[in-house]
Amino acid sequence: MAIEDLLVELRDIQPPASPSWWPLAPGWWVLVLVLSICVVLWLVFKQRRNQDYFKLARQQLKDLAYQYHLGKDKQGLALGLSRWLRQVSILAFPSRRIAGLTGQSWIRFLDEPMSSNEFTQGPGHIFAGEVYAAQSDIEAENILALCRSWLDKVKPELLQ
């Protein structure tokens, strides 16, 4: 074969095909797996923490009721429940400005989860400010029952 014939058969150097993005390299699979595990663990810990908040709130309410039944101190019970309602509300509704609510706006806020008027017109009206006055006409059992039902209504908010 002549050199000219051989030169005609020559072709330019062809670059290799560019690598495709799929399938991913093993390093990317490891990264995706690690990130997935981190997200799942974060969600589990968040859920567990929120369940702990609910259990703590329920236990604090039981403790307040127990202290009341030991000493029959209605004023102390009302003050403790007022503080407890405020603490649980701040945990359950962190995006709302609850700390500054007082009087009628406070008890209207407490009525919202229950879709009733047990705080504005029922036994919970003492939380509008009467809780700090020296009084003995506090309906302790009714207020405790109201706070228990309020906690049950707020439970989904605490578990988020």
Return the domain boundaries, the chain.
50-160
Higher pLDDT, 32 or 139: 32
At residue 136, the pLDDT reads: 57
At residue 135, the pLDDT reads: 62
Q: Number of helices and strands (H, E) in the chain?
A: 5, 0
At residue 134, the pLDDT reads: 66
At residue 144, the pLDDT reads: 93
Helix, strand, coil percentages in the chain from 3-state DSSP, rounded to 5: 70, 0, 30
Confidence of residue 42 (pLDDT cuts 50, 70, 90): very high
Task: Let me know: does 133 contact 160? Beta carbons within 8 Å.
Answer: no
Segment 92-112 shows an average pLDDT of 86
At residue 127, the pLDDT reads: 86
Q: What percent of the chain has pLDDT over 90?
A: 32
Segment 133-156 shows an average pLDDT of 84
Segment 70-86 shows an average pLDDT of 90
Confidence of residue 9 (pLDDT cuts 50, 70, 90): confident
Confidence of residue 53 (pLDDT cuts 50, 70, 90): confident
With b for 16 or more beta-carbon neighbours within 10 A and e for fewer, the 133-159 pattern comes to eeeeebebeebbebbeebbeebbebbe
Residues across the chain:
160
For residue 56, pLDDT beyond 60: yes
At residue 20, the pLDDT reads: 83
